[in-house]
Amino acid sequence: MKIGFLFPGQGAQNVGMGKDLYEKYSEVREIYKILSESSNFDIAKITFESSEEELSQTKNTQIAILAMSLGILKILENNGIYAEYAAGLSLGEYSALTYGKSINLENVGKLVRKRGEFMQDLLPKGDWAMAAVIGMGDKEVEEICKKVTKGFVVPANFNCPGQVAVSGDREGINELIDIAKEFGAKRVIELKTSGPFHTKKLENASIALKEELEKVEIKIPNCKVIKNIDAKEYSSKDDIKNILANHVINPVRFSDSINYMLENGVDTFVEIGPGKVLTGFVKKINKDVNCININNVESLENAILELVK
């Protein structure tokens, strides 16, 4: 069995996520405590007691998903479960790098809280949105984005064959929906995000994030962590801080990342955090591999039984 850990990004959140894990495991509570202290933010309160609207604010969502993912990860590690490869979708790359001991808990808490604030607050004025285009190829989506004339839309996440997320302004997204249907898209679904993520519109956020990244120690990971930006492993040649700063203004190559892991023998993908989106992408790329989701106590305990052999 060759395991790959997958960590979700923004959009997978829901109020109450991880509460049963938090209540059952002292190790999970300790992760929330460390991240809350380092980010000066009560993660448990916003995750378990807020409204969907409040939790879905980028500055809140990112740190909340990080805490849940790293809490689950701690229990897996305590049970001797490790992965040879790790990857995350956008925000999830920070969880993957933390798993690889590239960033410590205190620093990742500070960084992710700041990242969320910058991505929310340092945007040009506008009515921004993201949507998933279903049933079209990557190149086709790139081409229909170029046909939009009334607004701004570009590909943001290449998720899996037949699904590409696009970022832009409301006018551009609305026009794209009509164009996509005309050119054969099955559906276009608006996503639970609040900005033109992974586009040049986040240039100011990228610059501010780079300044924060320069304040902390980031090492080459001790396992194979796949970069969103080019779907390759981090290596000693990489400037990780520069890559993470550029990450927010470049598209996510998630589909290519999964293909890279498959080509290198990964046969068991474990999604760690809220939702089941990432393993859904994996199944669309290769329906024969083993996929495990861990997002509550029951699924965690079942995963431990399956993976500890």
Which pLDDT value is given to residue 190? 85
Active-site residue set? 90, 198
Which pLDDT value is given to residue 146? 95
Which pLDDT value is given to residue 191? 82
Tens of pLDDT, residues 9-22: 988 899 999 999 99
Please tell me the CATH superfamily of domain 3-122+200-307, with its number: Malonyl-Coenzyme A Acyl Carrier Protein, domain 2 (3.40.366.10)
Instruction: Summarize the confidence of residues 63-67 as an average pLDDT.
Output: 98
Which pLDDT value is given to residue 280? 95
Which of 16-30, 118-132, 187-201, 241-255 is the least confident region? 187-201
Tens of pLDDT, residues 136-182: 999 999 999 999 998 899 999 999 999 999 999 999 999 999 999 99
Which pLDDT value is given to residue 75? 98
CA atoms within 13 A on the CB side of 214: 7
Q: What percent of the chain has pLDDT over 90?
A: 94
Contacts of 287 (CB under 8 A, 6+ apart): none
Which pLDDT value is given to residue 9? 93
Instruction: Summarize the confidence of residues 31-59 as an average pLDDT.
Output: 96
* Residues β-bridged to residue 157: 165, 252
Same fold, 3-122+200-307 and 128-190: no
Place 292 in a pLDDT band, splitting at 50, 70 and 90. very high
Mean pLDDT of the chain: 95
In this predicted structure, the answer to whether residue 255 has a pLDDT above a threshold of 90 is: yes
Cα torsion angle, 59, 249, 14, 289, sign: negative
Helix (H) / strand (E) element for 167: namely strand 163-169
In this predicted structure, the answer to whether residue 37 has a pLDDT above a threshold of 80 is: yes
Instruction: Summarize the confidence of residues 265-275 as an average pLDDT.
Output: 97
For the chain, domain boundaries:
3-122+200-307, 128-190
Tens of pLDDT, residues 186-243: 999 988 776 899 999 999 999 999 999 999 999 999 999 999 999 999 999 999 999 9
In this predicted structure, the answer to whether residue 269 has a pLDDT above a threshold of 80 is: yes
Place 309 in a pLDDT band, splitting at 50, 70 and 90. confident
Please tell me the CATH superfamily of domain 128-190, with its number: Malonyl-CoA ACP transacylase, ACP-binding (3.30.70.250)
